[in-house]
Chain A
Amino acid sequence: MQTEATPGQADVSELDLVKRCQAGDSEAFDQLVTRYRTRVFAMIYNMVHNEQDAWDLAQDSFVKAWKSIGRFKGKSSFYTWIYRIVMNVTIDWLRKRQIKAGGAEFDDSIQLKEIEPASKTVPKADPLPHQRMEHREIRDRIDQAIAQLSPEHRAVILMKEIEEMQYHEIAETLGCSIGTVMSRLFYARKKLQTTLKDVYENV
């Protein structure tokens, strides 16, 4: 997996950094944060669709990782381990927000046909004046489609398609079986294929 390590940092192995962190070296942890911050932030952002929330959740995840780094035994990669924390923090947050909002935000039982066909986010036939605006509109469509998935389905599709993680890595991260991962992937793909068909076929 790609990281943000600079050439100097790349010399230091991840395991060495983890060991130093376990000895209380916060500078070593700073290096680990630097390696993974962009990927962690992007992953959370794709789950919650809000920059400030993503920033806060990424911070919470790293602080939690620091607190529990003593329990990291090195059985999996540090990346998988921290992703597990990230997913727990983010899914918990999404669930709490769902409860607060009365469960309206996402619901897997929502039929795809219920999505307003003429909603304002549907790309218009006429080209938009600015490419940026067009991109924003596409992004809104994707966010809207992902928002309809449950947190677990979001996590699975994003880890597979964006992070290109293996089934077993996703299973380890989410603490479920490989079969569950494959099953969730099946339904998440089906749903997004239907919801976003008009977008990805025209781009």
Chain B
Amino acid sequence: MKTFEEKWTAWLDGQLSGRELVEFESSLPDLAAAEAEKRNAHKLGAFLKKELGSQALSNEEFFNHQIHERIARENGNPSRTTRSTWWTIPRLVWSGAIALALFLICSVAIMRQHETGGQSEYLTQILNSTVDPAANPNATVAIFETKSDNKVTVLWTEGLQTLPADYAAK
């Protein structure tokens, strides 16, 4: 069973015919007013069609291109994203660890070199000359170094027979 709204719409759009049309029109209290409203509705339809029917799409080719790109992106991206995530994080961790290790090795090496370089050449030469077993067979040499900022080094020698001429007190 059609409602009044459905019958009215069908009548307006010319979809009623035969007995249905006669019955509907006879059920209207004011057919002339209904006909006027029908004409109004048609006017409205034509007006809407005229005013709204010409909305153009600008940049049509770009519209297609953008859809093409989106489809390509959505087809290709998920696996690529997953893979890149899997590969990037360990790579970053390893890079960081290696960089840190290199930094530590370099720092230790530089510090050691610095400490060695801090020992005077004078001391090295004395040591070299005193440990000559031929010249000083009973000599013992002990070295004490402080690790403080003053860098005090104490050289303790015992049983030294001769002192190299270069280092003798003048």
CA of A55 to CA of B56 in the docked complex: distance in angstroms?
A: 11
Q: Does B41 contact A (CB under 8 A)?
A: yes
Interface residues on A, range: 35 or more
| Contact yes or no, B67 A186, CB < 8 A | no
Report which of B6, B49, B53 forms a contact with A182, defined as CB distance below 8 A. Answer: B6
What's the A-B contact tally at a CB cutoff of 8 Å? Answer: 101
Contact flags A57-69 to B (C-beta < 8 A → 1, else 0): 0110011001100
Chain B residues near A42: list those with CB within 8 A: 52-57
Identify the interface centre among B2, B15, B45: most chain A CB within 10 Å of its CB. Answer: B45
Knowing A41-B55, A59-B70, the reply to whether A30 touches B64 (Cβ < 8 A) is yes
Q: Does B121 contact A (CB under 8 A)?
A: no
| Contact yes or no, B63 A37, CB < 8 A | yes
**Chain B min CB distance to A41 (Å):** 4
Main secondary structure on chain B at its contact with chain A? helix
| Contact yes or no, A34 B44, CB < 8 A | no
CA of A59 to CA of B74 in the docked complex: distance in angstroms?
A: 13
| Contact yes or no, B9 A182, CB < 8 A | yes
CA of A113 to CA of B77 in the docked complex: distance in angstroms?
A: 53
Q: Does A76 contact B (CB under 8 A)?
A: no
Report which of A29, A62, A201 forms a contact with B43, defined as CB distance below 8 A. Answer: A201
Which residues of chain A have a CB within 8 Å of any CB of chain B? 26, 29-30, 33-34, 37-38, 41-42, 45-46, 55, 58-59, 62-63, 66-67, 138-139, 142, 157-158, 160-162, 167, 179, 182-183, 185-187, 189, 192-193, 196-197, 199-201, 203
- Can you report 14 A-B residue pairs in the complex whose CB atoms are below 8 A from each other? A37-B60, A37-B63, A42-B57, A46-B55, A158-B48, A161-B45, A162-B53, A167-B15, A179-B2, A183-B3, A186-B8, A187-B5, A193-B40, A196-B44
